[in-house]
């Protein structure tokens, strides 16, 4: 007998949210109601409405049904903003209605809400453009005077859509106002201004006699670009899910080192940034650090969890984990350079490492970075055979072993990174002996590392196959993990998007 999955029951909307949705739907009807009386240019309304509807996920899925159909990228706002510039407010409000009602599968109340709030936003954008003389500037083909109405329409559309959506979030989900209105508005202004420039180009060419061709050919490259970026985001999400699954499997098999992989990934990215690597390589080093021990999945669990000293055969099995990891990730093309780091992160500059005994520059740079990050976290984490070392001790030990075991420039890069102030990170759960799944000890701020010191009798950082003592000692406070590479500032991304939109307008109009 087939098992039919039961969909989870939807939580009913609170009364305040229902009132908000009803008010927005009524406002949408009021905005679009005068359109039939005013006698708008129905062919223009129809073309823009059909074009917008085809960009809706649900409609596109039905039109291009098949195994290789493209995935939609969501509402295509340049079409709506072009309607706001070309049509009277009431007629512009109609452009989004058919596509929203026939779009993605959803309850009718949600479809009506979607159509209504877009209709109100487009109506407000069209009104703003008209008040600033947008139609006259467009008919005259005066680009400089049309820029302000187009930008105002984009900003008003963004503000209206954000305000209406935020009202529902506040009443239905009890979101704080800053999360419902402030942050979404700041994040959406840049892209909406770019959409406004594309809509302006479409409107100018439309009024010059190109009509439907302008509506299709001008936004089409942006739609294709949005589709490509959406696909790239989905692939990136799939890659991250794959990496998380592998790391969780390693943590389950060797729970005493839980969290080690993530911390090594952050430290590797930090070192890569200090070495001046570009963003792609920094991300590759982060993945390499996260997956450096994935080969432990091929090592017997009894060996990984053994609390006593390892015999020669068990040590040999442990030392196979880089090769296991390299083979396990062979089919993951997105890892690229990370696979070399997984294979060689236990090599030493003097040739005494494993698995291949490489020396000096024969060891890939990515592997030299991960080796330093791995050793630093190993020394500053509590293990079953010893307590955590201090950050100062770990950095001094790395400097002592630089040139024989570790690459000196990489060690220096980690020391520079640790000397910089770091934001506090969430504390980790306390460590406990045995295989009960507990993690390292709580974090504390990183002190500035000391300068390199002369050699002293302290042992070198223990490799993965180091003998384990029979009983763990009390856990010592552990240093906070280093900061990850800083994300790209939102303002820079918005300025770049706006600049690209202006270049599109200048190129088309100049032609």
Question: For residue 203, what are the β-bridge partners?
Answer: none
Return the SS3 of 443.
strand
Q: Is there a contact between 223 and 229 (Cβ–Cβ < 8 Å)?
A: no
Spatial distance between the Cα atoms of 116 and 32, rounded to a whole number of angstroms: 9
What's the sign of the alpha-carbon dihedral 10, 11, 14, 17?
A: negative
Distance of CA 118 to the CA centre of its chain: 27
Closest CA to 162 of 150, 149, 175: 175
Strands annotated E in 349-483:
443-444, 478-479
Question: For residue 443, what are the β-bridge partners?
Answer: 478
The whole-number pLDDT of residue 57 equals: 58
DSSP per-residue letters across 264-327: HHHHHHHHHHHTT--HHHHHHHHHHHHTTTGGGGGS-HHHHT--SPPPHHHHHHHTTHHHHHHH
First-to-final CA distance of the chain: 66
Alpha helices in 171-218, H assignment, sequence order: 177, 183-205, 212-217
Helix axes 219-253, 183-205, angle to 10 degrees: 150
Name all contacts of 142-149 with Cβ < 8 Å and 24+ positions apart. 143/200, 143/204, 143/505, 143/509, 146/200, 146/203, 146/204, 147/200, 149/85
Q: Is there a contact between 441 and 354 (Cβ–Cβ < 8 Å)?
A: no
Please list the pLDDT of the chain residue by residue as tens digits (511 residues). Answer: 333 344 444 567 788 888 999 999 999 999 998 888 777 788 889 989 988 888 775 544 444 444 434 343 444 788 899 999 999 999 999 998 988 888 666 788 888 988 999 999 999 999 999 999 999 999 888 888 999 999 999 999 999 999 999 999 998 888 888 888 888 888 888 888 988 998 898 898 888 888 777 777 777 777 787 778 878 888 888 888 888 888 888 888 877 677 888 999 999 999 999 999 998 899 999 999 999 999 999 999 888 888 778 899 999 999 999 999 999 988 888 887 899 999 999 999 999 999 999 999 999 999 999 999 999 999 998 776 778 889 999 999 999 999 999 999 999 999 999 988 754 433 333 333 333 333 333 333 333 333 333 333 333 344 433 333 333 333 333 334 443 343 333 333 443 443 444 333 334 333 4
Domains of the chain: 15-217+497-510 (no CATH), 237-480 (1.10.3210.10)
Angle made by CA atoms 285, 288, 293, in degrees to the nearest 5: 150
Question: For residue 386, what are the β-bridge partners?
Answer: 383
Sorted by sequence, the CB contacts under 8 Å of residue 438 that are 6+ apart come out as: 255, 258, 429, 430, 431, 432
Closest CA to 309 of 467, 430, 112: 467
Stated pTM of the model: 0.54
The whole-number pLDDT of residue 240 equals: 83
Helix axes 77-86, 42-54, angle to 10 degrees: 170
Backbone angles phi, psi at 306, to 5 degrees: -65, 135
Q: Look up residue 402 and give its DSSP letter.
A: B
Spatial distance between the Cα atoms of 491 and 497, rounded to a whole number of angstroms: 10
The whole-number pLDDT of residue 11 equals: 67
The whole-number pLDDT of residue 187 equals: 86
Specify burial of residue 396 (Cβ count, 10 A radius: 0-12, 13-18, 19+): buried
Residue 495: count other Cβ atoms within 10 Å of its Cβ.
13
Residue 133: count other Cβ atoms within 10 Å of its Cβ.
15
């Amino acid at each position: 007998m087939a098992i039919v999955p039961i969909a989870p029951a939807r939580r009913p909307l609170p009364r305040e949210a229902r009132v908000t949705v009803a008010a927005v739907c009524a406002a949408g009807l009021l905005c679009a109601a005068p359109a039939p009386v005013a006698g708008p240019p129905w062919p223009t309304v129809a073309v823009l409405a059909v074009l917008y509807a085809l960009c809706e996920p649900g409609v596109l899925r039905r039109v291009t049904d098949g195994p290789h159909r493209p995935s939609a990228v969501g509402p295509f706002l340049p079409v709506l903003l072009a309607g706001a510039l070309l049509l009277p407010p009431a007629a512009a409000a109609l452009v989004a209605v058919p596509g929203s009602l026939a779009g993605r599968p959803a309850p009718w109340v949600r479809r009506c809400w979607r159509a209504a709030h877009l209709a109100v936003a487009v109506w407000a954008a069209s009104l703003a453009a008209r008040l600033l003389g947008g139609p006259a500037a467009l008919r005259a083909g005066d680009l400089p005077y049309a820029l302000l109405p187009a930008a105002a329409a984009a900003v008003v559309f963004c503000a209206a859509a954000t305000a209406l959506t935020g009202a529902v979030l506040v009443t239905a989900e009890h979101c704080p106002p800053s999360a419902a209105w402030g942050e979404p508005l700041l994040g959406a202004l840049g892209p909406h201004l770019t959409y406004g420039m594309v809509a302006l180009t479409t409107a100018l060419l439309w009024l010059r006699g190109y009509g439907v061709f302008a509506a299709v050919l001008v936004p089409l490259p942006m739609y294709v670009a949005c589709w490509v970026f959406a696909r790239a985001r989905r692939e990136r999400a799939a890659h991250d899910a794959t990496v998380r699954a592998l790391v969780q499997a390693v943590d389950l098999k060797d729970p005493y080192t839980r969290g080690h992989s993530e911390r090594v990934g952050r430290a590797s990215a930090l070192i890569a940034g200090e070495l001046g690597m570009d963003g792609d390589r920094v991300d590759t080093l982060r993945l390499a650090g996260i997956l450096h021990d994935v080969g432990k999945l091929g090592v017997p669990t009894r060996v990984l969890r053994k609390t006593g000293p390892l015999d020669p055969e068990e040590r040999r099995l442990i030392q196979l984990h880089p090769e296991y990891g390299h083979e396990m990730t062979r089919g993951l093309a997105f890892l690229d350079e990370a696979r070399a780091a997984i294979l060689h992160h236990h090599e030493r500059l003097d040739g005494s490492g494993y698995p291949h005994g490489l020396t000096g520059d024969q060891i890939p740079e990515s592997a030299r970075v991960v080796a330093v990050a791995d050793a630093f976290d190993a020394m500053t984490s509590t293990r079953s055979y010893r307590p955590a070392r201090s950050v100062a001790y770990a950095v001094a030990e790395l400097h002592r072993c630089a040139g024989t075991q570790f690459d000196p420039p990489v060690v220096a890069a980690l020391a520079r990174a640790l000397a910089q102030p770091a934001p506090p990170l969430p504390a980790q759960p306390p460590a406990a002996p045995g295989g009960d799944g507990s993690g390292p000890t709580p974090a504390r701020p990183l002190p500035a590392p000391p300068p390199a010191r002369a050699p002293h009798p302290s042992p070198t950082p223990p490799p993965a196959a180091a003998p384990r003592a029979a009983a763990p000692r009390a856990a010592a406070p552990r240093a906070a993990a280093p900061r990850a590479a800083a994300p790209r500032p939102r303002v820079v991304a918005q300025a770049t998007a706006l600049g690209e939109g202006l270049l599109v307008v200048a190129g088309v109009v100049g032609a």
